[in-house]
């Protein structure tokens, strides 16, 4: 493993897990593969006895888990976020198989924290959740019965992450980076999307169209591009100038 | 998959499983990866309600499971048998990682039935069991906490088997695509960059800055994102609206 690889290279985020036992089983699955950084978003009863029982020897992972109220909060400092989803059809994000996802997560982990996100047991990640992700990970399951339980999905992904880490420690790989500018964090991307939304309002773009659909598309596009901080500054500048023009047009209209 | 590959290419054998719930979870793990041939050796209470409950939608796998009294009976017709074991030290057998084991199991499956064998929850396969195996499979787990539960081990191995099967059937495999919309051609991208340039002029973005440097950055960003035609239409719409506002502002300025 590269000297730059942090001790806990990948954060596992479980969103609104319903059954405490599944949190415990997921913690165990993580630890068997050497992962310890667990974040729970709005979990139901994370300290339930079932969670502790099913964590078995991984109670330490459970005890150290951080609890957040939103996914946004859980991944705010992350440079790369992958969301695990059973449905790859309607997702605008680039789709990755577990092996490719593991490789990319480790590539990115040298630069900033990275996260792998799992949704609720029944319905998985919502479209809103997926809009905070740079990529969708899809376990290539049986199309006639693809319902891996939560801990099983965590197990498969953490297994691939472990294999990828072992492969890297074998060849002492370095962390690739695209240029001199650090990649934008998720919080910076959210600020950009908010600015983009205000600019679209200012130029009266949404007339007769669904803002949600358009914004989902635009989010997918810009998250996929993995913007760096300099690119973000350029885009903010463009948005501000377009807003200024719209304001000028509006003030003269009155 | 080869034409010679049987419909159920790999038999999963669970030896003396103690907890019925684990049998159910293992059946589910198998089915999520497309495997249905389950044999139980001297199980305790295989028809227990826990087994059925945890099998979830894989109750058919459970119902069709064959029960044997010995491992010898369970693998009697097999040409190749791999045993999953946590300890690789004292085993005289050739050791395989899951990926290599999956490949070899499928290689052998064309000639005769093959089996992948899992031991009891606590102690795994006995030395006597392992003497009926051609190879030992070892999941490369965290050396400080390697205790995958039974269903988790079945999940990981069946996942590797599925990947190996998909890889073999991929000769005529389809190219993955991101969504329904075709990716933009290079000519469409050039038309977009020209439009972007006109819009930046209209909002007076370039004042004091190098247009070449900015445009190079923006081209890099949008090319990297691999835009599709629908995304391009949205972006053209935004550029046109911003131009319209700038024109309005300009005409009122004069």
Helix (H), strand (E) at residue B16: none
Nearest chain A alpha carbon to B209: A234
B159 lies in the same domain as B222? no
Q: Which of B163, B217, B234 sits opposite A218 (nearest CB)?
A: B234
Model confidence, pTM: 0.77
Taking only the tens place, the pLDDT of each residue in A65-74 is 999 999 999 9
B42 lies in the same domain as B145? yes
What's the confidence (pLDDT) of residue B92?
A: 63
Complex ipTM > 0.90: no
What's the confidence (pLDDT) of residue B167?
A: 86
Q: Which residues of B touch A166 (CB under 8 A)?
A: 140
Interhelix angle A150-171/A98-109, rounded to 10 degrees, is 60
Q: Say if CB A121 and CB A19 are below 8 A apart.
A: yes
- A8 pLDDT band (50/70/90 cuts)? confident
What's the confidence (pLDDT) of residue A177?
A: 46
- The average pLDDT across A6-24 equals 92
Q: B120-137: b or e for each residue (b if 16 or more CB lie within 10 Å)?
A: bbeebbeeebbebbbbbb
Q: Which residues of B touch A236 (CB under 8 A)?
A: none
Q: Domain for residue A238, yes or no?
A: yes
What's the confidence (pLDDT) of residue A90?
A: 61
- B91 pLDDT band (50/70/90 cuts)? low
What's the confidence (pLDDT) of residue A235?
A: 96
Taking only the tens place, the pLDDT of each residue in B195-218 is 999 999 999 998 877 888 888 889
B147·A252 Cβ contact <8 A: no
The percentage of chain A sitting over the pLDDT mark of 90, rounded to a whole number, equals 65
Q: Domain for residue B122, yes or no?
A: yes
Distance CA(A202)–CA(A239), nearest Å, equals 10
Q: What is the CATH number of the domain that holds B235?
A: 1.10.8
Nearest Cα to B31, choosing from B216, B223, B162?
B162
Residue with tokens 């997921």: A26
- B139 pLDDT band (50/70/90 cuts)? very high
Q: Say if CB A147 and CB B32 are below 8 A apart.
A: yes
A128 lies in the same domain as A225? no
Length of chain A: 254
Nearest chain B alpha carbon to A159: B156
A46 lies in the same domain as A164? yes
Helix (H), strand (E) at residue B68: strand B66-68
Count: domains in chain B: 2
- The average pLDDT across B226-232 equals 89
Domain holding A84, by residue range, is: 11-171
Phi and psi at B112, nearest 5°, equal: -160, 165
What's the confidence (pLDDT) of residue B195?
A: 96
Q: Which residues of B touch A246 (CB under 8 A)?
A: 242, 245, 249
What number of CA atoms fall less than 13 Å from residue B38's CA on the CB side? Answer: 30
A205 lies in the same domain as A93? no
B159 lies in the same domain as B194? no
Distance CA(A192)–CA(A234), nearest Å, equals 11
Q: Which residues of A touch B231 (CB under 8 A)?
A: 217-218, 221
Q: Domain for residue A30, yes or no?
A: yes
Question: Minimal Cα–Cα distance from B76 to chain A, Å?
Answer: 28
Q: Domain for residue B1, yes or no?
A: no
Distance CA(B197)–CA(B193), nearest Å, equals 6
The rounded radius of gyration (Å) of the Cα atoms in chain A is 20
B106 lies in the same domain as B207? no
What's the confidence (pLDDT) of residue B253?
A: 58
Q: Say if CB B201 and CB B246 are below 8 A apart.
A: no
Q: Where among B139, B172, B205 does a domain terminate?
A: B172
Question: Minimal Cα–Cα distance from B44 to chain A, Å?
Answer: 21
- B120 pLDDT band (50/70/90 cuts)? very high
Q: Say if CB B5 and CB B106 are below 8 A apart.
A: yes
- B177 pLDDT band (50/70/90 cuts)? very low
Q: Domain for residue A181, yes or no?
A: no
A241·B166 Cβ contact <8 A: no
B156·A151 Cβ contact <8 A: no
A139·B159 Cβ contact <8 A: yes
């Amino acid at each position: 493993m590269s000297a730059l690889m942090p001790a806990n290279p990948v954060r596992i985020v479980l969103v609104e897990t319903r059954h405490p036992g599944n949190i415990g089983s997921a913690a165990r699955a993580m630890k068997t593969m050497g992962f310890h950084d667990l974040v729970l978003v709005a979990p139901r009863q994370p300290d339930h006895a079932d969670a502790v029982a099913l964590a078995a020897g991984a109670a330490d992972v459970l005890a150290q888990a951080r609890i957040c109220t939103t996914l946004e909060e859980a991944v705010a400092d992350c440079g790369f976020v992958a969301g695990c989803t059973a449905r790859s059809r309607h997702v605008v994000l680039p789709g990755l198989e577990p092996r490719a996802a593991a490789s990319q997560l480790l590539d990115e982990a040298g630069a900033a924290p990275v996260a792998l996100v799992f949704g609720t047991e029944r319905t998985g990640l919502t479209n809103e959740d997926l809009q905070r992700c740079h990529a969708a990970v899809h376990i290539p399951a049986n199309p006639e019965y693809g319902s891996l339980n939560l801990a099983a999905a965590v197990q498969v992904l953490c297994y691939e992450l472990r294999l990828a880490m072992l492969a890297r420690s074998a060849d002492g790989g370095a962390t690739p980076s695209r240029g001199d500018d650090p990649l934008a964090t998720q919080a910076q991307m959210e600020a950009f999307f908010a600015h983009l939304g205000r600019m679209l309002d200012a130029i009266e773009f949404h007339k007769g169209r669904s803002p949600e659909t358009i914004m989902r598309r635009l989010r997918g596009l810009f998250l996929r591009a993995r913007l760096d901080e300099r690119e973000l500054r350029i885009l903010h500048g463009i948005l501000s100038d377009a807003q200024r023009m719209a304001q000028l047009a509006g003030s003269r209209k009155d």
